[in-house]
Amino acid sequence: MTTMYLVTSVFQRKLHVGNCRVFMDFETAVNYCYTLARKLFPENIFTGKEILRFVQYMRIYEFEPGEPLKLIKKERIEALFSSILTPVSS
């Protein structure tokens, strides 16, 4: 089976195709949240804490087709965000 990741907002009462996105890997799902934050607030220079504050309003679920959704814990998202936000040394 293929594990997939569904991203939605905590403000959505019901999931439907118009208010969620499905991704094939966890990193892409988290990058989508980061990109969405940058689009919604382009004038802000985000620090890690500000992005994590935004992402707390997003929910990422892990699932396999035909199986129930499992909410991904905040710590797993934070760990990936910290690796995204860490500057790469040249």
Contact 12, 57 (CB under 8 A): no
Per-residue pLDDT of the chain (90 residues; tens, 9 = 90+): 689 999 887 766 666 556 788 999 988 988 888 787 777 766 665 566 666 677 777 888 999 989 999 999 888 887 777 776 655 454
What dotted CATH number matches 4-85? 3.30.2260.10
Return the exposure string of 62-71: e unless at least 16 CB atoms fall within 10 Å of the residue's CB, then b: bbeeeeebee
Phi, psi of 23 (to 5 degrees): -125, 155
Assessment of whether the complete model's pTM goes beyond 0.85 = no
Give the Cα separation of 7 and 86 in Å (integer).
23
CB 27 within 8 A of CB 82: no
